[in-house]
Structure 1
Amino acid sequence: MLKEAVGISVLLVAYNHEKHIRQALNSLFGQVFDGPIELVVADDKSSDSTLSIIQEYEGADPRFTFKYLDYSENLGITKNYKRGFEACTSEFVAVLEGDDYWISPCKLQRQVDFLTAHWESDVCSVNYYVYEEDRAHLSPRVPASTGHRFISARELIADNVVGNFSTCMYRRSALSRLPEGLFDIKSYDWITNIVLAKTSLIGFLEEPMSVYRLHGGGVWTQTPHIDKLKAQLAILPAYDALTDNVFHEDFERLSSHLRHVITVSQLGHVAESVGKPVFRVIPTLVSLMPPVFIMVIKLLVPVAVMNLLARVVKRSRSV
C-alpha cells in the first residue's frame, strides 16, 4: 500500500516586497516536494504590486492551493503573523518572508523528514546566508556543515542562531499553543522560538538552505545600531514574563551585556565627536614644529608612542 504524501502549509508573509517577491516565490515553487502545499498569503496591505505578482503564480503548479487572507487593513507584523499561523491547516508549517528566499530545492522535504523522525523537536530550522544587499555580500550565519544539532531555549537567548522565520518549519500543534500575550507585544521569530523551545528542542540543520536579506527597505535594517540594542533591552522583561520567568537569569545576563554594549557604543560616539576637531588640528601643529624639536621628540619618545601618534595624524587627515 502506497504511503500518502505528507502535505504542508507555507505561510508567505509579505509587505511591499515587489522588488524581491519573485525570487522568494521561485525558490518556493522550485522545491522538490511531492505532497500538496497550502500557500497561505498574508499580505499586510501592500501599496505596491506585491500581491498582483503573487497572483501570477496561481495555477502554475498543481501541488499548490492558494489561500488569501484579508489584505484590506494593515495589521503590523505581529498581528499579521498571528492570523497567518491560525490560517494554516497542515501538520507542518513553513514560513517564507517576501524579501527572503531559499537556496536548496530540498529544504522543505529535509525539514519534514527531520520533524517526522525527531519527536523531541517542534521546530526545525536551517543554517542560512546573510545577504547584505548594499555590499552584495553573502556570509553564512554559522560555518556550513552537513549534519544537525539541537538548540535549547537558553542557547537561543544567548545567541539567536535561528535568525529569522524563513529558516523555520513548525508543527502546527505547537503553534496553536503559543500564548495570546505573545501577539500583544512586538514579537518576532526570536521570542516565538524561545517560547516553543521551553518545551522542546529546536533542530538545526547545518547546511545553508535560506538567505536572509538585509536591504535599505527593511525597517529593522534602517534602525541605528544603538536604537536596535535599546529596543531589544526594553522588550526583555516582557519576554521573561512570557516564559514564566523560567529563564530569568539568562535574560538578566543578556540585559547586563546589552547595557554594557550600549554604554560603550555611546561613549564611542561622544569620543568621536569630540576627537574630530582635535584630529584636524594635529597636522597643523606638527607642520609648525621646528625640525630640531621633532628630532628631539623622536629620540626621547618611545617607538610605540610614536607609532600611535603617527596613526592619529593619519586618521586626522581622513576625517
Structure 2
Amino acid sequence: MLKEKVGISVLLVSYNHEKHIRQALDALFGQVFDGPIELVVADDKSTDSTLSIINEYEGLDSRFVFKYLDYSENLGITKNYKRGFKACSSEYVAVLEGDDYWVSPLKLQRQVDFLVAHWESDVCGVNYFVYEEDRAHFTPRVPASTTHRFITARDLIADNVIGNFSTCVYRRSSLARLPDELFDITSYDWITNIVLARTSLIGFLEEPMSVYRLHTAGVWTQTPHVEKLKTQLEILPAYDKLTDHVFHDDFEHLASRLRHVITASQIGHVAEAVSQPVLRAVPRLLNYMPPILIVVLKSFIPVAVKNFIVRVVNRSRSV
C-alpha cells in the first residue's frame, strides 16, 4: 500500500511587502516537500504591488493550490491572523510573513517530520537569523547546531526564543483550540505560542532555517527600544489573564525586569542630555586654566578621577 503524502497549509501574511515578497515566495517554492501545499494568502489590503507579485507564482508548481482571502478591508495584524488560521485546512500549518524568508529548502519537511515523530509537541520552531537590513548584518538567534530541544511556556515568557511566526509549523488541531479572547487584544507569535505551550511542549530545531528581517518599513523596527519595552509591559496583565494566571509569577518576574530596564534606560537618556553641555565646556575650561594650576591639580587628583576626565575630554571632541 502506498503511503499517503502528508500535506501542509502555508499561511502567507502580507501587507505592502512588494520589496521583499519575491524572496519569501522563491524560498517557499524551493522547499523540498513531497506533498500537496495549500497556500493561504492573507493579504491585509496592500496598496502596492504585493498581490500582483503573488499572482505571478500561480501555476508554476503543481504542488501548490492557492486560496486567497478577502483583501478589500484592512483588518490589522491580529484579526488577519485569526481568519488566516481558520482558513487553513491541512493537518499542519506553516506561517510565512511577507518580509521574512527561509534559508533551508528542507525547513518544512524537517518540521513536519518532527511533529509526526513527537506527539508531545503541537508546535515546531526553528532557529533563525536576525537580519538588520540597514547594516547588512546577520546574527543567529541562538548558537547554531544540528540538535533539537523542547521549550515550555515558562521558558518562552522568560525569553521568546521562537521569535516570530515565520519560524513555526503548527498542528491545525492546536490552532483550533486558541481562545477567541486571544484575538481581541494585541497578539503576536509570543502569546500564541505561550498559550499553546500550556498543554504542549514546543520543539525547537537549532539549525537556522529562517530569516527575520529588521527593516525601516517595519513599524516595530522603527519603534524606539524603550517604547517597545513599555508596550510589552503594558500588555502583560492581559496575557496573564488570558492564561488564567497559571503563569502569574513568571509574568510578574518579567514585568519587574522590564521596569528595571526601562528606568535604567530613561536615567541614561537624562544623564546623556545633561552631560552634553558639560562635555562641550570642558575643553574650553582647560584652555583658560594656567598651566601651573593644571600641573598642581594633576599631582593631587586620584588616578581614577584623571582617567574619567580624560574620557570626558575625548568624548567632548567628538560631540
> Fold conserved (TM > 0.5)?
yes
Q: Write out aligned runs for 1:291-306 (5 A).
A: 291-306=291-306
The aligned residue for residue 221 of structure 1 is 221
The aligned residue for residue 58 of structure 1 is 58
Q: Could you report, residue by residue, the CA deviation over 1:117-170 in whole angstroms, capped at 9, with x for unpaired residues?
A: 000000000000000000000000000000000000000000000000000000
Classify the secondary structure of the residue corresponding to 1:150: strand
Q: TM-score, normalised by structure 1?
A: 0.99
Classify the secondary structure of the residue corresponding to 2:259: helix
Classify the secondary structure of the residue corresponding to 1:236: helix
Please give the root-mean-square deviation of Cα atoms over the aligned residues, in Å: 0.6
CA distance in 1, matches of 2:187, 2:136: 29
CA distance in 1, matches of 2:202, 2:297: 62
Q: Any unmatched runs of 5+ in structure 1?
A: none
Classify the secondary structure of the residue corresponding to 1:11: strand
The aligned residue for residue 234 of structure 1 is 234
CA distance in 1, matches of 2:316, 2:227: 28
The aligned residue for residue 85 of structure 2 is 85
Classify the secondary structure of the residue corresponding to 1:65: strand
Equivalent pairs counted in the alignment come to: 319
CA distance in 2, matches of 1:218, 1:169: 23
Classify the secondary structure of the residue corresponding to 1:34: coil
Between 126-135 and 223-232, report the one with greater CA deviation.
223-232
Q: Any unmatched runs of 5+ in structure 2?
A: none
Classify the secondary structure of the residue corresponding to 1:104: coil
CA distance in 1, matches of 2:113, 2:34: 13
CA distance in 1, matches of 2:189, 2:147: 23
Classify the secondary structure of the residue corresponding to 1:16: coil
Classify the secondary structure of the residue corresponding to 1:105: coil
Q: TM-score, normalised by structure 2?
A: 0.99
Q: Could you report, residue by residue, the CA deviation over 1:21-65 in whole angstroms, capped at 9, with x for unpaired residues?
A: 000000000000010000000000000000000000000000000
Instruction: Give 1:186 deviation, angstroms.
Output: 0.6
CA distance in 1, matches of 2:142, 2:299: 49
Q: Write out aligned runs for 1:143-222 (5 A).
A: 143-222=143-222
Instruction: Give 1:300 deviation, angstroms.
Output: 1.4
CA distance in 2, matches of 1:174, 1:140: 28
Task: Note if 1:21 corresponds to 2:21.
Answer: yes
The aligned residue for residue 96 of structure 1 is 96
Between 285-294 and 62-71, report the one with greater CA deviation.
285-294
Q: Could you report, residue by residue, the CA deviation over 1:188-239 in whole angstroms, capped at 9, with x for unpaired residues?
A: 0000000000000000000000000000000100111111111100000000
Instruction: Give 1:289 deviation, angstroms.
Output: 1.1
**Which ranges of 4 or more aligned residues in structure 1 deviate by more than 4 Å?**
none
